[in-house]
Amino acid sequence: MNTSSTILETVKTSPQPAPDPAAHLAARLRELRAGRNWSLEALSRASGVSRSMLSQIERNRVNPTLAVTLSIARAFGLSIGEFLEMPSASPTLHVIRKNDREYHYRSDKDCSIRTLSPLNLEKDVEFYEVTLEPKGALRSAPHYPGTREFLTVQKGRVRVESGPDSEVLSAGDSVSYRADLPHLIANAGSHPAVLFLVDIYLD
C-alpha cells in the first residue's frame, strides 16, 4: 500500500468547503476601501454607518443587517448584488444571444435596436446594435447631463446630428458627440445601415 498516494488522492477528491459569506464580505469591504484609499472615517461619512460598525464588519466580528450593507454598497456606487457578489458562485461570462427577445429594445419597419450590454448596467454604460432601413431615423431627446454617445458605422451611410452640428459617416467611420442635446441618427443612403452605439453616462 502506497500511503502517500492514498493521502494525495484523498486531498484531490475531498470537496472544497463552501465560502464563508461573512468572511467574503469582510475581505470585500477591505479591498474596496483600500482601492478608494478611504479611511474608516471617510467611509463612515460616505455611508452613514458608524466607524465602529465598519471596523467590526472588516474584522468579521459582526454580521451586518441588509440596511447597513445597502448603505455601504451605495457609498461605493454599487448595487447590493455587486457588493455581495461571491466570485465562486457567479459566472465570469455574461452571454447575450442574438435571438434573446429580452434584449430587442425596438423593432419596426424603419429601425431595430438590440441591446448588447447587460441590462443591469443601464444608466452607467449602454451598448446597442442599430439597424436603420432607407429613410429610417432614430431621433432622441436630450439624455442626462454629461451623457455622450460613441457611434461606429459597420454598414451603409448615416447622418448624425447633435444640437446644431451634423456629419455624414460611411462604413468604418466613428464619431462621438454630446447626447445631452437633441440628437439624431438617420440613414443617409439607399440601403440598410448597421451601426454600433455606446451611451456613457458621465455624471
CA of residue 125 relative to chain centroid, distance: 6
* Rounded Cα gap, residues 107 and 29, in angstroms: 43
Residue 18 is predicted with a pLDDT of 52
Specify the pLDDT at position 123. 59
Looking at 14-93, list the stretches that DSSP marks H as alpha helix, in order from N- to C-terminal side. Answer: 21-36, 40-47, 51-58, 66-75, 80-84
DSSP state, 154? Answer: E
Domain match, 123 and 52 both: no
Same domain, 80 and 28: yes
> Which of the four pLDDT bands, split at 50, 70 and 90, describes residue 3?
very low
60 and 114 co-located in one domain: no
The answer to whether residues 96 and 119 touch, using CB atoms and an 8 Å cutoff, is no
- Between 144 and 157, the more confident residue is 157
Which of 60-69, 81-90, 151-160, 163-172 comes out lowest in average pLDDT?
Answer: 81-90
Average pLDDT, the chain: 84
Check residues 16 and 111 and name the one with the higher pLDDT: 111
Return the half-sphere exposure (C-beta side, CA atoms, 13 A cut-off) of residue 175: 21
Q: Which of 55, 89, 123 is the last residue of a domain?
A: 89
**In the chain, pLDDT over 90 holds for what percent of residues?**
46
Whether 120 and 78 map to the same domain: the answer is no
Looking at 33-37, 115-119, 185-189, 195-199, which range is the least confident one? 115-119
Both 184 and 110 in a single domain? Answer: yes
- Cα angle 177, 94, 27; round to 5: 100
Quote the pLDDT of residue 121.
59
* Residue 79 contacts residue 47 (beta carbons within 8 Å): no
At residue 7, does pLDDT exceed 60? Answer: no
Q: Are residues 32 and 78 in the same domain?
A: yes
In whole angstroms, how far apart are CA 144 and each of 58, 140, 159?
A: 36, 12, 22
Domain around 138: 101-201
Written as nine digits, the cell of 100 is 434573446
The helix (H) or strand (E) run that includes residue 105 is strand 104-107
Buried b (16+ CB within 10 A) or exposed e, 111-131: bbbbbebeeeeeeeebbbbbb
Write down which residue in 89, 118, 152 finishes a domain. Answer: 89
User: Could you tell me if residue 94 is inside a domain?
Assistant: no
Q: Is residue 188 in some structural domain?
A: yes
- Strand partners of residue 165: 162
- 138 bridge partner residues: 185
Dump pLDDT digits (tens) for 109-155.
899 999 888 766 555 778 999 999 999 999 999 988 889 999 999 99
When divided into structural domains, the chain yields a total of 2
Tell me what pLDDT residue 122 has. 57
Evaluate whether residue 12 is within a structural domain: no
